[in-house]
Homo-oligomer: A and B are copies of this chain.
Amino acid sequence: MTAQVSPRKAPRQSRSLATVKAILDATAHILIEGGFAAVTTNAVAERAGVSVGSLYQYFPNKDALITALHARHGEQMTAVILRALTKAMDATLDDALAGLIEATVEAHRIDSALHCVLELQLGAMDKAWPEEEYVGVMEERIVALLAHHRAVITTPDLKLAAFMLMHSAHALIHAVVLERPKGVSLKAATQEIVRMLKGYLTQPVSA
């Protein structure tokens, strides 16, 4: 994002970027360790090694802090998944699903603690990040993917199928990453999810 052409001006810019990063990282840490209630502007500033004043130079208020963190995290995850979606277009349905789930699992492992806390605690604010926008994009892409494999899919309504896929997969991946039952490997669990989705999509019509 930052073209490093002018070596003279870069430090300035990167100082700001570094500060913003430090603040968001501090927010994430405190959010994970102490929950939403522990995220105070003073605590964040202190942990980030800056003054409250600086925090307010980059974020207009406390909510913006959480929102920005959410956005950053969401973008990271979305990027991973969308990349997988793109790749999936050139594969068999089996491989597409497997690639997608594996990528999503991977995305969730990036910062699973943060992901969990954000998902659980962000409702405490009047939803701020345009999550739905990204979700909408993903839904469309998944519908496209399914349409691409229309031939082998028995489910009639692809949009409904995408809805079912997204929600069940998300919940399962969450559960698997955070509280996988003993004795089950992450790999096995991932395969089981793929198996479930595959079964759902290609289920004999009469069933």
Spell out A's residues near B (CB within 8 Å).
Answer: 35-37, 117, 119-126, 157, 159-160, 163-164, 167-168, 170-172, 174-175, 181, 184, 188-189, 192-193, 195-196, 198-200, 202-203, 207
Contact = CB atoms under 8 A, between A and B. Distances in A.
Contacts of A36: 123-124
A198 B172 CA distance: 17
B195 A207 contact: yes
A153 to B, nearest CB: 12
A199 B207 contact: yes
How many copies the complex holds: the figure is 4
A35 B171 CA distance: 23
A192 B175 contact: no
Contact of A124 (B124, B172, B181): B124
A126 B168 contact: no
A202 B192 contact: no
Given A120-B124, A163-B175, 20 more contacts: A35-B125, A36-B124, A37-B124, A37-B125, A119-B123, A121-B121, A121-B123, A124-B124, A160-B189, A164-B172, A167-B171, A167-B174, A167-B175, A168-B172, A170-B171, A171-B171, A198-B207, A199-B200, A199-B203, A200-B200
The 8 closest A-B pairs by CB, nearest first: A120-B123, A171-B171, A199-B203, A168-B168, A167-B175, A196-B200, A121-B123, A199-B199
A37 B122 CA distance: 11
Contacts of A196: 164, 168, 196, 200
B202 A207 contact: yes
A35 B172 contact: no
B193 A164 contact: yes
A160 B124 contact: no
